[in-house]
Structure formats: structure tokens, C-alpha cells
Amino acid sequence: MLAYIVRRLLLAVMTVWAISVLSFMIIHLPPGDYVTSYIASMSASGSAVSEGEAQALRQQLGLDQPITIQYLKWMGLMLQGNFGMAMEWGRPVSDVIGDRLTLTMVISVAAIIFTWGIALPIGIYSAVYPYSFLDYVFTFIGFIGLAIPGFLLALVVMYVGFAWFGANVGGLFSPDFAEAPWSLEKIWDLTKHLPIPAIVLGVAGTAQLIRIMRSNLLDELRKPYVMTARARGLSEYRVVMRYPVRVALNPFVSTIGYLLPYVVSGSIIVSLVLSLPTVGPLLLKALIAQDMFLAGTIILLLGVMTVIGTFISDLLLMWVDPRIRFGRE
Amino acid sequence: MQTSTKPLLSVRNLRTSFFQDEGTTKAVDGASFDVSPGKTLGIVGESGCGKSVTAQSILRIVDRPGRIVGGEILLTREDGSQTDLVKLEASGAEMRSIRGGDIGLVFQEPMTSFSPVHTIGAQLVEAVLLHNEVTPKEARRRGIEALRSVGIPKPERRIDEYSFELSGGLRQRAMIAVALSCDPRLLIADEPTTALDVTTQAQILDLLRKIQQERGMAVMLITHNLGVIAEMADDVVVMYLGRVVEQGSVDDIFHDPKHPYTKALLQSIPSIDSAPRVKLPTISGSIPHPFNRPPGCPFHPRCAAFIPGRCDAAEPALKAVGDGRQVSCFLYE
């Protein structure tokens, strides 16, 4: 059991390192660097940047050094907890990301709670009463949810919210609170704004989860241990909830790992449409500007989140499934 | 079989069908038999003849789309009154107290009869708590006792283990312990030894016999293995395509089989005295799918004593032939 944890931990560290190399390489793949795109944007606004200035800027940012040196320097900074400067913003990366990361987490968690809260009961119902009228209804709605792209749903929800309810649907805060320091009122304001992005982000996942839960549970319901539980005289509710549902839930635990990055990266366009102050739009901007410190940090953070999430779900799975705990299939 | 004491369980003309898109499968089609208190009734037949569905019907746990469509299942209660299980609500309180309380079930798959993510104890103690007004501590004590009574070594430790930590034989013992934990008056054992190796089979059968003698409990033993029947049963019911074709004491059935199907079954067992290098007789053809049940006697296409114009025209009824014996065949009408 300890060996299992240690092995997972070692693998996690290796994976994080591999992600750092990959994310660094990906950022360097497009031709040019931050200075090129800086010059382009300056000339677009009418002012020219001389060759000398550009060279000086490259030197100042360390962009003139070989790529391996750049990587090592970056890693060195990372290890000290310093994520470098966001070039475009002229502020430390941690400053730029900080709040947005928290809000991203809040929205993601809200979306996940929505997804699970809706999908699991419906999935259980659909499996216990397969091919019933309501099962078909849920399947129909579920597939529609799966088929509609998130940004379109966001637009529709915004329109409906604005036209029929007069709600201010964009963003996560009312204008009064957007720049205000954190307070109880601001948190309440955030809570009121949360449902719409959570639902929009959660709908596709909900449909998927319903299908997975339904088929998992249908398989489990046919197993003999369900019949023996019934033969013991348990009530039907307890038979279903205590045994097959419990077993069918195990695969979900292992999805916790990639849920977070999935929600973050899947939400970029939705976040733009709903003008949510999350990490997604920031990443997009940083990639366009070739701001390697900012983009690199975000990609690396997403990677690390996945790895940590997977590690946690491995531990959880070990806790809920004795077959893994004892190293059996 | 017709003794003065009331049978513990009396199945009358039971019919259970599965309603599927392709059509209706009559898995059990008019089965009748009695289980006497303290006796072992063996139910024998080929795969797909409705043995297991009969057991599930008695416990009212037939899976959808199956449903009991007719007949009676009369259970004699401890006060002597009779309850028709068919009339009870399948998931109602009374049926649930009978399930696991009055009637215990042992299944053929010890591998998958326990939940893989719960300990043996969790499932055993749960049954005890459900049918008895006891504290969890007392329930656990009884659980350990039940495991000990079926010959599981170190029951104090085994109770907290998972089913996959036990061997097949121990698992089946644990299954029996769960079924016995609430002192049922009838134990239904559905192919209890089919998935086990021969040595373990013998041990489990010994255990069942020992427990039955100690507790004076009735056992309904479902198997396709005539050897097991010969060793265990007092009375035998032979089923074919959802019907009882012959019923009698174990001696009668083995030494003087009446129905051609029973005769054919017995002939197809290799004997130590049979001539070497001679092909073992088999029953020609295979069991028809319940969809296209032959008209008349369901066994007539495979029967050696087929009477044309009679057997394929009408269905014989189960009739008494001599002392406590019943057979459904035109040869005896």
C-alpha cells in the first residue's frame, strides 16, 4: 500500500517535469517571440521600434540566450516560487493570475457540483427504470445538452436572462463590486452570479455523466450480488443505493483528476462570451502576445493541477475500492 | 410424499413468464411440487428448464421483464397458517421479512454473490440486523457465530475481510452463513456447488447436510447434477421446459424411473459398470427454446416412447402413479 503511494508520487513528479518541458516547447513553437509581436502591435498603433531597441528589449528579457538556458533559468525561478514577469502587463505573473485562479477554481467547483448533483440522480433513475418514459426524456435532453456548444448556450442564456428577466448576466460581479476589496457582500454578489456560468459550463458534462452512470449501473444491477442482497430481505431502495450504486460510483472518483483542467480549458470561449474573469481568456491573450512567462505558467499550473488531481483521485480510489487497496483486479 | 404434516412450501401450478420484445418466454409453465419440513427436495433438469426461475419466483425476486403470471406458492408459517407468496407485494414489508428471514438463498456464483467493495461482515451483519431486534454489537457476535458454524476458520478475522480475499470454497461457506444467519426454515440452494472444484463440492454438500440435520431445516436443492441429487435429496422433482415431469422419492426416481425423460437422464450418466469403449447414450436433440415450445408434451420430439397422434396433440397432466409418486406422461394414463 505504501509502495503504491510512493510509486504514484514518483510518477507524479516525473510527469510534472515532463509537462514543464512540453509547455516550454509549445510556447516556443510559433515563429518569433514576445518582442516580434510587441513590435507588430507597436507598429499597428503607429509607433516604430528601432532594431537597437528591440535588441535591448531581447537582452533585458533574456530572449537572446539559447533555448536550453532560457528553460533552465525559468525552472530556477519556478523552484523559488517566482513565476517571472507577465511581459505585456509589466507585473509579476503571480499578481496577474492570483485572483483569476481563485475565481476559476470557484466556477469550476460550482460547475462540478452542478454536474454531479444533476447527473447522478438522473443516471441512477435511468438505470433502475431503463427504457421508461422518463429515461427517454432524460436521454433526449441529455443528448441535446451534449450537442449544443457551450458558447452558443451561453449566448442563449444571456439573451433570455437579459430580455426576459432583465438580469445583468455577464461577468461574476455586479459593477459596484468588480473592483471592490473582498467582503461578505462581494462574496454574496459572487454567489448570485455563479449559477449561470456553472450551468453553462456543466451542461455538456452532465449529459456525459448521465450516460456513464446509466451504463455503469445497468451493468452492476445485473450482477448476482444485487440478487443476493435482495434475497436477504433489504428494501429495494437500500439494495440499489448500498450495493450497485456504490460500485458504479468508483469510476467517477477517478475522473476527479481531470475534471478541473477540463473545465478550465473547455471554458475559454464560454468565459469570453460571459466575460468571466477566469484564467481561460488570460491564457488566450498570453498565447497571442507570445508572453512566454504568463502562458508557460498557466499551462504548467493546469498540468500540475491535473497531476495533483489524479494523485488525489488515486488515493481516493484506493480508499473506496478495497480491490485496489489489496492490489487485486 | 403425501404425509399427514402440511408441506412447508407448496408450489401449485406456478407460471412465470418473461415479456420481451421478441415475444413471451414461459420460463416456468405450470410447475407444482411440495417441500416437506426438515426434508431435502432436489430439483433436477437441464439448463434452461426453469429451475432457477422457480427459486427466484418463490423469493419473489424475478428480474424484469419476468413476472409471475399464475399459480400459488403457499408457505406454511410458524403458527400453522398459510401465506400465498404470489399474492404478497414483491417489495413489501411482509415479503421482505420472509426473504432472508423464513427462506434463505444460496447462489451458484460464490465469486460474484458478494459485493466486491463491502466486507463479508457488512453483508452478514446487515442481514442479522434486518431480521432481528439486536444491537449492532450483538449482530456482529451472531455474524461471527454464523461464520464459525459453517466451518470458516478464524471467523473473528474473516468477518472483516472482502470476498476476494477468500477462496471459492470459503466464499460459498460465507454465503451459506449469510443465508443461515436468521435461522430460515427453508434454504434454497441454487446450484451451490457448480462453480467449485470436486473436493470443495463434497465439503460444501457435507456442510449443507450437517446443517440441515442440526437445524431440522428444509432444503430445496437445485442442480443439474444427478450425483448430487442421489447423495443429498429425500425427494426429487424432475423439470423439463418449465414443467414438472416427474416427482417421487429419491429411491423411486433412481431405481424405478417412470417418465421417459427421467429414464433418458439416468441412462446418460456413466457408470463404473458400463461396458468400456461403448458410446454413452445421450438424449437426442437439445432442449428447445421456450419460444417455440413443441405442441403437446414438450418432450415428445426427443422422446423414445413417442406416441404419434397423442403426445404431439395434447399435454399430459401430472398424475399420481402409486405411493407419493407423480408423473406427467401418457404412458401411465
The complex scores an ipTM of 0.84
Does B159 fall in a domain? yes
What is the distance between the alpha carbons of residues B158 and B143, in angstroms, rounded to a whole number?
A: 11
Does the pLDDT of residue B231 top 80, yes or no?
Answer: yes
Question: What sign does the dihedral A258-A259-A260-A266 (CA atoms) show?
Answer: positive
Band (A135; pLDDT cuts 50, 70, 90): very high
And the C-alpha cell for A139? 436521454
pLDDT of the residue at A122: 94
Does the pLDDT of residue B3 top 50, yes or no?
Answer: no
Give the residue numbers spanning the domain of B178: 112-183
Taking CB atoms and an 8 Å cutoff, what residues of chain A touch B21? Answer: none
B101 contacts A322? CB cut-off 8 A: no
B127 contacts A223? CB cut-off 8 A: no
Taking CB atoms and an 8 Å cutoff, what residues of chain B touch A225? Answer: 112-116
Does B149 fall in a domain? yes
Please return the burial class of A43, using the count of CB atoms within 10 Å of its CB with bins 0-12, 13-18 and 19+: exposed
pLDDT of the residue at B41: 94
The CATH superfamily label for domain A99-290 reads MetI-like (1.10.3720.10)
Domain definitions of chain A by residue range: 99-290
State whether residue A34 sits within 8 Å of chain B by CB: no
And the C-alpha cell for A140? 433526449
What is the distance between the alpha carbons of residues A191 and A177, in angstroms, rounded to a whole number?
A: 12
| HEC secondary structure over chain B | CCCCCCCCEEEEEEEEEEEECCEEEEEEEEEEEEECCCCEEEEECCCCCCHHHHHHHHHCCCCCCEEEEEEEEEEECCCCCEEEHHHCCCCCHHHHHHECCCEEEECCCCCCCCCCCCEHHHHHHHHHHHHCCCCHHHHHHHHHHHHHHCCCCCHHHHCCCEHHHCCHHHHHHHHHHHHHCCCCCEEEEECCCCCCCHHHHHHHHHHHHHHHHHHCCEEEEEECCHHHHHHHCCEEEEEECCEEEEEEEHHHHHHCCCCHHHHHHHHCCCCCCCCCCCCCCCCCCCCCCHHHCCCCCCCHHHCCCCCCCCCCCCCCCCEECCCCCEECCHHHC
B107 contacts A322? CB cut-off 8 A: no
Query: What is the interface size between A and B, counted as CB pairs within 8 Å?
Result: 82
Please return the burial class of B323, using the count of CB atoms within 10 Å of its CB with bins 0-12, 13-18 and 19+: exposed
Does B135 fall in a domain? yes
Residues B36-44: what's their mean pLDDT?
91
Q: Which of A56, A67, A98 is nearest to A182 (CA)?
A: A98
State whether residue B193 sits within 8 Å of chain A by CB: no
Identity of the residue numbered A151: F
State whether residue B112 sits within 8 Å of chain A by CB: yes
Does the pLDDT of residue B219 top 90, yes or no?
Answer: yes
Band (B154; pLDDT cuts 50, 70, 90): very high
pLDDT of the residue at B103: 92
And the C-alpha cell for A310? 489524479
Name the average pLDDT for chain A.
82
Give residue-wise pLDDT tens across range B120-136.
999 999 999 988 889 99
What is the distance between the alpha carbons of residues B282 and B284, in angstroms, rounded to a whole number?
A: 6
Q: Which of A199, A328, A306 is nearest to A254 (CA)?
A: A306
B130 contacts A228? CB cut-off 8 A: no
Question: Nearest chain B Cα to A238, which residue?
Answer: B126
Residues B89-109: what's their mean pLDDT?
88
Taking CB atoms and an 8 Å cutoff, what residues of chain A touch B122? Answer: none
Cβ proximity of A279 and A265 under 8 Å: no
Does B189 fall in a domain? no
- Nearest Cβ partner of B112 from A224, A230, A326? A224
Does B330 fall in a domain? no
Q: Are strands B23-35 and B9-20 parallel, antiparallel or unpaired?
A: antiparallel
A321 contacts B117? CB cut-off 8 A: yes
Does the pLDDT of residue A207 top 60, yes or no?
Answer: yes
Distance from CA of A238 to the nearest CA of B (A): 11
Does the pLDDT of residue A41 top 60, yes or no?
Answer: yes
What is the distance between the alpha carbons of residues A186 and B277, in angstroms, rounded to a whole number?
A: 92
- A15-19, A32-36, A185-189, B279-283: which is most confident: A15-19
What is the distance between the alpha carbons of residues A76 and A84, in angstroms, rounded to a whole number?
A: 10
Of A211-220, A306-315, B278-287, least confident by mean pLDDT is B278-287
B59 contacts A322? CB cut-off 8 A: no
Does B69 fall in a domain? no
Residue where the block lists cell 449566448:
A155
Band (A327; pLDDT cuts 50, 70, 90): low
Does the pLDDT of residue A329 top 60, yes or no?
Answer: no
The rounded Cα B109 to chain-centroid distance in angstroms is 14
State whether residue A324 sits within 8 Å of chain B by CB: no
A231 contacts B99? CB cut-off 8 A: yes
Does the pLDDT of residue B251 top 70, yes or no?
Answer: yes
Name the average pLDDT for chain B.
87
Distance from CA of A222 to the nearest CA of B (A): 9
pLDDT of the residue at B238: 93
Beta-ladder partners of B25:
B18
| HEC secondary structure over chain A | CHHHHHHHHHHHHHHHHHHHHHHHHHHHCCCCCHHHHHHHHHHHCCCCCCHHHHHHHHHHHCCCCCHHHHHHHHHHHHHCCCCCEECCCCEEHHHHHHHHHHHHHHHHHHHHHHHHHHHHHHHHHHHHCCCCHHHHHHHHHHHHHHHCCHHHHHHHHHHHHHHHHCCCCCCCCCHHHHCCCCCHHHHHHHHHHCHHHHHHHHHHHHHHHHHHHHHHHHHHHCCHHHHHHHHCCCCHHHHHHHCHHHHHHHHHHCCHHHHHHHHHHHCHHHHHHCCCCCHHHHHHHHHHCCCHHHHHHHHHHHHHHHHHHHHHHHHHHHHHCHHHHCCCC
Taking CB atoms and an 8 Å cutoff, what residues of chain B touch A222? Answer: 63
**Residue A44 phi, psi (nearest 5):** -65, -35
Q: Which residues of B203-225 are buried (b: 16+ CB within 10 A; e: fewer)?
A: bbbebbeebbeebebbbbbbbbb
What is the distance between the alpha carbons of residues B224 and B244, in angstroms, rounded to a whole number?
A: 14
Band (B40; pLDDT cuts 50, 70, 90): very high
Residues B176-182: what's their mean pLDDT?
88
The domain total for chain B is: 1
pLDDT of the residue at A77: 81
